[in-house]
Structure 1
Amino acid sequence: MGGVCSRKRGNQVNEDGVRVGVNRRYCKNGSSKWLQGTPFFRTTSGCQPEDVSCPSLMELCIHKARQDIDKYSSFSVLPRDISQQIFDELVLSNCLTETSLEAFRDCALQDIYLGDYLGVDDGWIDVISSQGSSLLSVDLSGSDVTDSGLALLKSCSNLQALTFNYCDHISQNGLRHLNGLSNLSSLSFRRSVAVTAEGMRAFSSLVNLHELDLERCSGIHGGFIHLKGLKKLKTLNIRYCKCVTDSDMQALSELSNLKELQVSCSSITDAGVAYLKGLQNLILLNLEGCQLSAACLNSISALVALSYLNLSRCGLSDHGCDKLSGLKNLKVLNLAFNNITDACLVHLKGLSNLETLNLDSCRIRDEGLANLAGLLLLRNLELSDTEVGSSGLRYLSGLLNLESINLSFTLVTDAGLKKLSGLSSLKSLNLDARQITDVGLAALASLSGLTHLDLFGARITDSGTQYLRCLKNLQSLEICGGGLTDAGVKNIKDLTSLTLLNLSQNCNLTDRTLELLSGLTGLVSLNVSNSRITNDGLQHLKPLKNLRSLTLESCKVTAPEIRKLQTSALPNLISFRPE
């Protein structure tokens, strides 16, 4: 949502569109479970939202320990769960230093999450390794730890999860120090120069490994032979490894317990996919960006347990798509950016378990949607950049479980939106089309459950915004490039559930708009670029204590004034433009 509000048109692979194998917030300790559900923003002291309940005595103690951390030489006499919470609080508040880390020596911590934490190097590992057999999970991603530091972790024999993503100072020789960590069940070395064919020899002894993440490792071709003995391996992520070829797939063919395989953007062909036919327990297969032909579907159709299949950007055509009809357990199917037409959709009729279907940028037309009418469990449908128009939407009217539809860059008009009015489960709707006007917005007024509405580029006027009053549950709203003035914003100011609001490209909005929005205290992201807002209007943003992103490009607003606002009233603001 930049200042010019241009749309990204899908020429790049969406790296976050699929599940990855290893959770960076892998956590075993009960006292730090809250780390796994960290919200989008975290309030700082003195900036609590008004509806937050009184902190517990334990929380106050942890907060006090963080403030006075320099006064303590050791926490080893405290119960382990208390020490863990103090440690986690210091990390999340960015207050942990190599000096204060010393207080945690021999504290028997179970989880040490320092991924992307600045300054971490071998000097930190001595204290980390002092946790000994208690230590279960370590994330040192992006650190300057070397082979010597990795060697110190050998004493932590009960380690179950180890993450060293983007660590450039570990060599293939350093990986030998993993020998002996036989309890490891999760290992991640994304974009690591250490993981070469020879370096992967160190993985052969990790017989309890369940999850292995080698995404973006460019030297792993030929190393998969060392994984043959890892019979417990269930998840393997080798996305964006162009070096991976068909012979590597042959080496994986013996991993009979493999359930998830991510091998997108590699150099495998139909022949490589054929080696996967024996993986009968495979539930997830991601082949996005691999240049395949219809022949690959002959092999994939044998994987009857598949519930997730991503064939986006694989160069497929209609020929051979009949094989898809045998994958009765499919819940998620991604066929985006392929040269397929309505003829392919005929073979999806029987996939009654399908919940998510992505047809982005395929040559799909109205009549093709008739083949989806029986997919009653469908919840998410992506039709962006297709030739679908208003007529085709009649086939969707019976899909009462639909929660998300993307109709951006289609031929849908106001008349078509009336056919969606009965989809009471709909939560997310992306229209992104110039042909949508106030009339179309009126047709959506009955969709009271909507939480996300993208009208980017639609021709919405002040009069049309009255229909937004019915959408009380909206959390995300984009009306970018419409014809709004301050008068139209009056109909938005009471949508108190909003966390994201984009009104950019409405050039007649003034400081009055910011005044009207001052009551939306839940806002996390606000974009009012290319408007008539000035520095004087910034004062109205002071109540928005949860605001983390503010974009006011091409306005009469200066970066120094935004910084003043940030310092005085918006301490959670971490991203702003102009900057």
Structure 2
Amino acid sequence: MGGSCSRKRDPQPDEENVQRVVSRRYSKSGSSKWLGTSLSRTSVDNKEGSALCPSLMELCIYKISEEIDQYGTFSMLPRDISQQIFNELVCSQRLTEAHLEAFEDCYLQDIILAEYPGVDDAWMDVICSQGSSLLTADISGSDVTDSGLLNIKDCNNIEALNLNFCDKISDAGLGCISGFSNLTNLSLKRNNNITAKGMSSLSGLVSLSKLDLERCTGIHGGLVHLKGLKKLESLNINCCNCITDVDMKPLSDLTSLKELQISCSKVTDNGVTFLKGLNKLSLLNMERCPITAACLDSLSDLGSLLYLNVSRSGLTDDGCEKFSKLKSLKVLNLAFNDISDAVLAHLKVLKDLESLNLDSCRIGDDGLVHLAGLNHLKCLELSDTEVGNSGLRHISGLVNLESLNLSFTVITDGGLRNLAKLTCLKSLNLDVSQITDAGLAALAGLTELTHLDLFCAKITDTGTKYIRNFKNLRSLEICGGGLTDAGVKNIKDLKSLVLLNLSQNHHLTDKSLEFISELSQLVSLNVSSSRVSNTGLQHLTKLKNLKSLSLESTKVTANDIKKLHESHLLDLVTYRPE
């Protein structure tokens, strides 16, 4: 359906992921991207260019962190100051096992060491020395074992514990937290050593409200130990292919449950029947589950259901009239199902719908007439469908739309005139090979755009004259091969740009890098398959926020970029060639 392109199934990193710069080991699964949740801390960085001067306290913290070798202990300092020093050392990657000793018995409340290098059992003595003061601990991705986790039992006031990707922790380690009555948040992602037997340690966590067991492939039969957790509001068992209908039965007692994620499991329509009594359930993710439209009968009893993901589940038109019963829905994901325009006729009664994903469904122009009355719609995904110019007429009145994806459709320049009234649009994906400069003229009034994707569109320097009017753009992709340095000059004043992808424009030279150097907020830059050379890299030294740089198939070598990274762009995390 639509145009074929490898980028469709292997997309460029979006702005949010570029800014987080998540490691490959610790990245979210595709299923979790639908609703990403993680334990995070607020950055204490003082970003370059900020109008705020650091406080005296901040200056002292930075000074101590720089001279950390001079200090043997911080136990005599007030806890909040010790905490700030600890946070700064972690953020600046200065914390070592030797320096950690200075924080023994400092009564720290937060130990956030996710993916921090070198964390193992030797670190746990100091971590656990915080005792009852410790409220949050994250040692995800560490080499801590069951033995190292043993002393955490003394931190009995802990409220949030992340042990994601800790593949040396097993059922025995979970026994250490069995008495944590204050624990509200527990995350054990991607741990194959946790089994149904080990799940019994969770039965006493009476305050638990959020439990993440994504990719824990050995927990079949263990959900029965969650029956008594009456405060549990969020349960993630995405990508646990061991989960079957039998595992759903114990969940029927979790009447406080608001979010349930069971994607890529073996749950069928029969398993969904056990969810009928969960009247507070507002989010349900069943992506890739072997269900049919028959399960909608059970879901129709869930009056609080707002978010439903049934993408890639094999749904067909048969029985989909039952979608009309889910009138409380605000978000519906039907992507990659074998459904046609006929299904859309049953969605027109979902007047509260704010987001609809029809990516790669058998949808054409005729079906879009049924969406014309969904006036609350803010996000519409029509990628890889047969939607064309006449279909866009039906959605031209959805003036509250903020995000519209038309990639790999059959629209042409003429159809873009139908988007002129969508002045609330912030994100627009026109990764369509039929779009040219002429079509961009119709978009001149969409001044609220922050994200514009023209990846495969046939845009030349002429088209960039229209783009330079979008002063709020944070993300821009133009990769159709038609740009020269003159076109890049037209976008150099888009000062809000964070992500810029100009790959495959073979005529770009070092002059383009000179223009790009004025985009001081850039975090991600891709100028691959161009004529830029090592000489042009000098212009990039101004881009101090840059974290991702791709210059593949250019005259720049891996060694050239490495020197740039080491001498000027210290925050670069990923670069190619490498």
> TM-score w.r.t. structure 1 length?
0.94
Partner SS state of residue 391, structure 1: helix
CA distances 1:124-160 after superposition (whole Å, capped 9, x unpaired): 1111111111111111111111122222011111111
Counterpart for residue 158 of structure 1: 157
In structure 2, the partner of 1:501 is 500
Question: By how many angstroms is 1:18 displaced?
Answer: 2.0
What CA deviation, in whole Å up to 9, does each residue of 1:208-254 have, x standing for no partner? 11111111001100111111111111110000000000000012111
Query: Pairwise mapping of residues 352-431 of structure 1 onto structure 2 (< 5 A)?
Result: 352-431=351-430
Alpha-carbon distance between aligned partners in 2 of 1:519 and 1:294, rounded to the nearest angstrom? 53
- Does residue 96 of structure 1 match 2:111? no
CA drift of 1:17 comes to 2.7
Shift of 1:286: 0.3
Question: Which residue in the other structure is 1:29 paired with?
Answer: none
Partner of 1:28: none
- Contact 1:170-1:193 at 8 Å conserved across structures: no
Looking at structure 1, the residues matched to 547 and 162 of structure 2 have their Cα atoms a distance apart, in angstroms, of 28
Alignment of 1:232-381 (within 5 A): 232-381=231-380
Give distance in 1, aligned partners of 2:522 and 2:226. 48
Instruction: Please state how far the C-alpha of 1:373 moved relative to its aligned partner.
Output: 1.1
Conservation of the 8 A alpha-carbon contact between 2:262 and 2:286: yes
Specify the alignment match of 2:17 in structure 1. Answer: none
**CA 1:525–1:410: 2 relative to 1, 3 Å:** same
**Equivalent residue letter for 2:181:** S
The C-alpha deviation readout for 1:256-290, integer Å capped at 9, x for no partner, is 11111000000111111111111111110000011
Q: Distance in 2 between matches of 1:550 and 1:90?
A: 26
Instruction: Kindly provide the CA deviation profile for residues 521-542 of structure 1, in whole angstroms up to 9, marking residues without a partner as x.
Output: 1111111111111111111112
Question: In structure 2, what is the Cα distance between the partners aligned to 1:54 and 1:561?
Answer: 35
Q: Write the distance in 2 (CA, Å) between the matches of 1:420 and 1:199.
A: 55
The aligned residue for residue 18 of structure 1 is 34
Which residues of structure 1 form unaligned runs of 5+?
Answer: 26-34
Identity of matched residues, %: 63
Write the distance in 2 (CA, Å) between the matches of 1:17 and 1:170: 26
Unaligned runs of 5+ in 2: 12-27
Q: Secondary structure at the match of 2:186?
A: strand
Structure 1 CA distance for aligned equivalents of residues 469 and 425 of structure 2: 14
Secondary structure of residue in 1 paired with 2:171: coil
Aligned equivalent of 2:531:
532
CA–CA distance in 2 between the matches of 1:264 and 1:10? 20
CA RMSD of aligned residues (A): 1.6
Pairwise mapping of residues 57-72 of structure 1 onto structure 2 (< 5 A)?
57-72=56-71
Q: Contact 1:237 / 1:261 at 8 angstroms: preserved in 2? A: yes
Deviation at 1:15, TM superposition (A): 3.2
Aligned match of 2:19:
none
Partner of 1:571: 570
Q: Is 1:141–1:163's contact at 8 Å kept on the other side of the alignment?
A: yes
Is 1:345–1:371's contact at 8 Å kept on the other side of the alignment? yes
Name the residue aligned to 1:107: 106
Amino acid at match of 1:94: Q
Aligned equivalents of 1:358, 1:473: Cα separation in 2: 25
1:212 aligns with 2:211: yes
Amino acid at match of 1:474: L
Mapped to 1, the partners of 2:231 and 2:184 lie a distance apart of 9
1:186 aligned residue: 185
| 2:374 match: secondary structure | coil
TM-score between both structures, scaled by the size of structure 2: 0.94
Matched residue, 1:553: 552
Q: Is 1:475 aligned to 2:474, yes or no?
A: yes
Q: Whose RCO is larger (CA < 8 A, sep 6+)?
A: 1
1:197 matched to 2:196: yes
1:8 is aligned to 2:2: no
Deviating more after overlay: 305-314 vs 456-465: 456-465
Distance in 2 of aligned mates of 1:527 and 1:283: 39
Q: What does residue range 121-132 of structure 1 map to in structure 2 within 5 Å?
A: 121-132=120-131
* Code of the aligned partner of 1:177: C
Q: How does 1:438-453 map to 2 (within 5 A)?
A: 438-453=437-452
Residue 10 (structure 1) shift: 7.2
> What are the superposed Cα offsets for residues 311-339 of structure 1, whole Å, 9 maximum, x if unpaired?
00000011221221122221110000001
Q: How many residues align?
A: 558
The answer to whether the 8 Å contact 2:460/2:487 transfers is yes
Q: CA deviation at 1:174?
A: 2.1
Cα pair 2:317 2:340 within 8 Å, conserved: yes
Deviations 1:366-393 (A, max 9, x none): 1211111111111111000011001111
Name which of structure 1's ranges 310-319 and 460-469 shifts more when overlaid on structure 2: 460-469
Secondary structure of residue in 2 paired with 1:347? coil
Check conservation: 1:277, 1:302, Cα contact below 8 A. yes
CA distance in 1, matches of 2:436, 2:463: 8
Task: Give the distance between the partners of 1:345 and 1:122, measured in 2 at CA.
Answer: 56
- In the alignment, the residues of structure 2 paired with residue 193 and residue 558 of structure 1 have an alpha-carbon distance, to the nearest angstrom, of 40
Distance 1:542 1:52 in 2: 22
Asked if the contact 2:32–2:238 (Cα under 8 Å) also holds between the matched residues in 1, the reply is no
Q: How does 1:73-92 map to 2 (within 5 A)?
A: 73-92=72-91
Question: C-alpha separation between the residues in 2 aligned to 1:556 and 1:193?
Answer: 45
Amino acid at match of 1:366: D
Partner in structure 2 of residue 32 of structure 1: none
Q: Which whole-Å CA distance do the structure 1 matches of 2:32 and 2:191 have between them?
A: 20
Contact 1:510 1:532 (C-alpha < 8 Å) held by counterparts: yes
Distance in structure 1 (CA, Å) of the matches to 2:104 and 2:123: 10
Task: For 2:31, give the aligned amino acid.
Answer: E
Partner AA of 1:134 in structure 2? S
The whole-number CA distance in structure 2 between the counterparts of 1:61 and 1:371 is 62
Secondary structure of residue in 2 paired with 1:8:
helix
User: How far apart are the structure 2 equivalents of 1:319 and 1:220?
Assistant: 34
Q: Report the Cα distance in structure 1 between the residues aligned to 2:358 and 2:506, rounded to whole angstroms.
A: 34
**Deviation (angstroms), 1:517:** 1.5
Secondary structure of 2:563 counterpart: helix
Question: Which amino acid in structure 2 is aligned with residue 89 of structure 1?
Answer: E
Q: Does residue 177 of the first structure (1) align with residue 176 of the second (2)?
A: yes
Q: Distance in 2 between matches of 1:557 and 1:193?
A: 42
Q: Tell me the CA shift for residue 6 of structure 1.
A: 4.2
How far is the alpha carbon of 1:16 from its aligned partner?
A: 4.0
User: Partner residue of 2:519?
Assistant: 520
Question: Residues 304 and 326 of structure 1 are in contact (CA less than 8 Å); yes or no, is this contact kept in structure 2?
Answer: no
Whether the aligned pair in 1 keeps the contact of 2:203 and 2:228 (CA below 8 Å) is: yes
- Residue by residue over 1:53-90, the C-alpha shift from the partner in whole angstroms, topping out at 9 and shown as x without a partner, is 32111110110111111111111121111111111111
Deviation at 1:556, TM superposition (A): 1.0
Matched, 1:485 2:487: no
Matched residue type, 1:400: V
- Cα separation, partners in 2 of 1:509 and 1:447, compared to 1, 3 Å: same
Secondary structure of the residue aligned to 2:346 is: helix
Which whole-Å CA distance do the structure 2 matches of 1:290 and 1:126 have between them? 43
